[in-house]
Amino acid sequence: MSHTAAERAGYTPLEARVRARGGLTARGLGLVAAVVALAAVTVLSILVGTKSIPPGTVWDALLTRGAESEDVRIILDLRVPRTVLGLAAGTALGLAGALMQALTRNPLADPGILGINAGAATAVVLAIRVLGVGSLTGYIWFAFGGAALAFGAVYLLGTRGRSGASPERLALAGAAVGAALLAVTNAVALLDVTTFDRYRLWTVGTLAGRDLGVFWGVAPFLLVGVLLALGLGPSLNVIALGEDTARALGANLNRTRVLSAVAVTLLCGAATAAVGPIAFVGLAVPHIARTVVGPDQRWLLPYSLVLAPALLLLADVAGRVIARPGEIPAGLITAFIGAPVFLAVILRRRIVPL
């Protein structure tokens, strides 16, 4: 409860200040705890894999690179890159989901549900088929373009008409655009064996099989997207009050929308280009964060930034452990986790409208 809200609730000014300071302290401590949890999951991601490696060997590999051996190569060439990519992609997807939900005022917003992943996938498969692009770093620009076009199409379709945008209309527009793009993607991929072979390795949504070169290729776009997203918190809080109130308070709605769209495109495009389409991380994490810190975007965005990579890395570790000696891609694990969250949000909206 804010200082002013506490006073309206009947508390004295001193009591209101104490309650506000207590809420701030609790949120700060919660964020610190989330960072500690993310650090623990990061260590777990390096320690755990389909092959058991003693912690001492892992430690030596990280600090001294150790003696040249198969275990050291597994740590440095496989586990460290996929952990770094998990941190980067999770951060991007969590922030993008929180931004999209705030911008559209749609609790169902997610890069997968709103067709952004489908747009990136269609652009990538066309790049493979038409231009012969064959490297993960080569997909980046096409993924950006496809993500931006899909998001623009969904937003235009979802806001048409006098009734304006609503969560349900945007979700339906995303489903329609995503289905059309999926049909194009499948048609192109299935008509050419070479395209299908390259595309299937990317579209499954996995952290495996990538090196640090992929991370460095998307890092500049991720950095700009993260800085933009974190800077938009106060403006998004004003927009949440309603467009008329936001204008009365002097908010620049067009500027906020454009910057948010740029941030979402950079974040989703970079994450999708790097690890493929991974669904539901951007949907589930902001809802988890919202239960802890409420709707304040100044806190919701940092919490999403920390919790999303933790969820993605946990999903990746679970995929390695469950199917030993094989692996289940992280994208399948996040879909398994996120689908119940999506259904819960829909059911909640039917019972208690937001």
Q: What pLDDT band is residue 65 in, cutting at 50, 70 and 90? A: low
Q: At a CB cut-off of 8 Å and minimum separation 6, what does 282 contact?
A: 93, 94, 96, 97, 98, 100, 109, 110, 111, 112, 308
For the chain, the structural domain boundaries read 84-351
At residue 205, what is the residue type? G
CA dihedral 235, 239, 244, 245 (to 10 degrees): -70
Tell me what the mean pLDDT of segment 194-207 comes to.
Answer: 77
pLDDT, residue 234, reads 87
pLDDT of residue 139: 73
Q: What is the pLDDT of residues 78-88, one digit of tens each?
A: 899 999 999 99
Residue 116, helix vs strand vs coil: helix
Any idea what DSSP says for residue 209?
Answer: T
Query: By the 8 A CB rule, do 115 and 181 touch?
Result: yes
Rounded Cα distance, 247 and 257, in Å = 13
Q: State the pLDDT at residue 35.
A: 95
Q: Which amino acid is at 232?
A: L
Fold type of domain 84-351: ABC transporter involved in vitamin B12 uptake, BtuC (1.10.3470)
Residue whose pair of structure tokens reads 């890395």 in the numeric block = 313
For the chain, what's the residue count?
354
Q: Is the pLDDT of residue 5 over 50?
A: no
pLDDT bin (cut points 50, 70, 90) of residue 24 is low
CA 48 to chain centre: 23
Most trustworthy range by pLDDT among 195-204, 261-270, 293-302? 293-302
Which pLDDT score is estimated for 208?
Answer: 84
Question: Among the listed ranges 8-22, 164-178, 191-205, 223-237, which one has the minimum average pLDDT value?
Answer: 8-22
The confidence score (pLDDT) of residue 80 equals 92
CA 134-137-142 angle, 5° bins: 80
CA 348 to chain centre: 22
**Whole-number pLDDT of residue 46:** 93
Whether omega for the bond prior to residue 167 falls within 30 degrees of 0, making it cis, is no
What is the C-alpha R_g of the chain? 21
What's the pLDDT at 225?
93
- Cα separation, 253 vs 244, whole angstroms: 10
Helix then strand then coil, in percent of the chain rounded to 5, is 80, 0, 20
pLDDT of residue 117: 80
- CB of 230 closer than 8 Å to CB of 113: no
Supply 54's token pair: 């003693």
User: Per residue in 296-330, is it b (16+ CB within 10 Å) or e — as a string?
Assistant: bbebbbbbbbbbbbbbbbbbbbbbbeeeeeebbbb
36 confidence band (pLDDT: 50, 70, 90): very high
As a whole number of angstroms, the distance between CA 171 and CA 164 comes to: 13
pLDDT at position 306 is 95
CA distance 332 to 18: 45
Q: How far apart are the first and last CA of the chain?
A: 19
Which token pair is 192? 């050419």
